[in-house]
Amino acid sequence: MIRAQLCSPDTGIVTGGKELKTTWQDNPGSILWLDIAGEPESGESGFMRDSFGLDTLAIQDAQRKRHPPKLEAFDATTFIILKVPDTDSTELHLSTSQLAIFVGDGFMITRRSGNSPDTDTLFQQAAGDARMFQQGAAGIALRLCRRVSDRYIKLLLTLEPRLDEIEDIIMQHPDDKLLAELLSYKTELKKFRRLFLYHQQIFHELKSGSFPAFSDTNLHVIIDVFEQLERASSLAGLYHELTTDLIDGYISVASHNLNQIMKVLTVVMSIFIPLSFLAGIYGMNFENMPELQSKSGYFILLGVMFSIVVILITLFRRMRWL
């Protein structure tokens, strides 16, 4: 699927397909946004290469479903690959698709391997707001990057109330489902941190160097996106540590509860072992057992057993086991 938007001083904003490329070429000063999604079509690479002068290897990277985020400069274009959320879900589970962005003089091309709700939303907004094109194609690209970074932060912030809730539950009713949930969060946050490091590096290079189609007028937004990614990375690290602490706390609480159970069992066994010993001795079927001939032997044995129980219970209470 190929769709396009053309912002021209003469025609305003026009939405269409790749045929707008000809209109863009005939209108100097106009800005073209070409958005391509889905499986690569026949002739797509040649169209991008011949019409916009894009590098063949860069086009191949853009068409892949998976490629590490990166920033690369060519003679007249800047090439960026990002990992973006591919759903509108607010759940933390990280599901991303690849978004490749080519930014050149008067044009921007986005190539998506999957869904990109942020790209769709910005495309719809740009169709009715010519002001979004005032800072050129680089300005549109940076708006898209800012939306992506904002969404990552939004996803992370939804986790904080849940972690607070889990912390309270752990102290009251810990169970295996909580542990499984915490382990899944820890895994996802580790992925987030690695992803943000890639993205931070991209925008650190972008704000520190000179890249085609980007000018000093874009520097403020570049720094803003970089700071958002720094914040996202910091949040991911903070929540990763908090999740690790909660896992350790869960294990400690579970161990404490197990110790309490073992303590009760130990007390019960300590009481019943001497009683079982006495019952075992006087339950043997020997004829010559003097105590068996005593009329008060039964009551004496019960008294001894009762005394043992009282002494042990008193001892355990003094040791604060009961």
pLDDT of residue 6: 85
Whether residues 65 and 207 share a domain: the answer is yes
Per cent of the chain over pLDDT 90 is 22
Q: Which domain holds residue 269?
A: 257-318
Whether residues 164 and 298 share a domain: the answer is no
DSSP string, 274-299: HHHHHHHHTTS--S--HHHH-TTHHH
Q: Which of 39-53, 93-107, 137-151, 242-256 has the highest mean pLDDT?
A: 137-151
Question: What is the mean pLDDT of the segment spanning 53-81?
Answer: 90
Q: Where are the beta strands (DSSP E) in the chain?
A: 2-8, 12-16, 31-37, 70-73, 78-85, 96-104, 107-112
Structure tokens at 38: 């889905």
Whether residues 173 and 274 share a domain: the answer is no
pLDDT of residue 92: 67
Whether residues 163 and 242 share a domain: the answer is yes
pLDDT of residue 141: 92
Q: Which of 215, 233, 254 is the last residue of a domain?
A: 254
| Residue 51: pLDDT band with limits 50, 70, 90 | confident
d(CA 20, CA 71): 27
d(CA 182, CA 180): 5
The model's pLDDT over 153-180, given as tens digits with 9 standing for 90+, comes to 988 888 888 888 888 888 777 788 888 8
Whether residues 264 and 250 share a domain: the answer is no
pLDDT of residue 30: 87
Whether residues 85 and 173 share a domain: the answer is yes
Whether residues 42 and 169 share a domain: the answer is yes
Whether residues 207 and 233 share a domain: the answer is yes
Whether residues 204 and 231 share a domain: the answer is yes
Phi, psi angle pair for 321, to nearest 5°: -90, -15
Q: Which of 232, 254, 276 is the last residue of a domain?
A: 254
CA 243 from centroid of its chain's CA atoms: 12
The length of the chain, given as a count of residues: 322
Whether residues 292 and 186 share a domain: the answer is no
d(CA 15, CA 32): 10
Q: Which of 206, 231, 254 is the last residue of a domain?
A: 254
| C-alpha dihedral sign at 69, 119, 128, 29 | positive
Helix orientation angle between 117-126 and 136-157, rounded to the nearest 10 degrees: 130
CATH number of the domain residue 238 falls in: 3.30.460.20
Whether residues 32 and 112 share a domain: the answer is yes
| Residue 301: pLDDT band with limits 50, 70, 90 | confident
pLDDT of residue 91: 67
Answer yes or no: is pLDDT of 261 > 70: yes
Whether residues 63 and 183 share a domain: the answer is yes
pLDDT of residue 128: 78
User: What's the structural domain count of the chain?
Assistant: 2
pLDDT of residue 231: 93
pLDDT of residue 72: 93
CATH number of the domain residue 269 falls in: 1.20.58.340
Structure tokens at 41: 């079509």
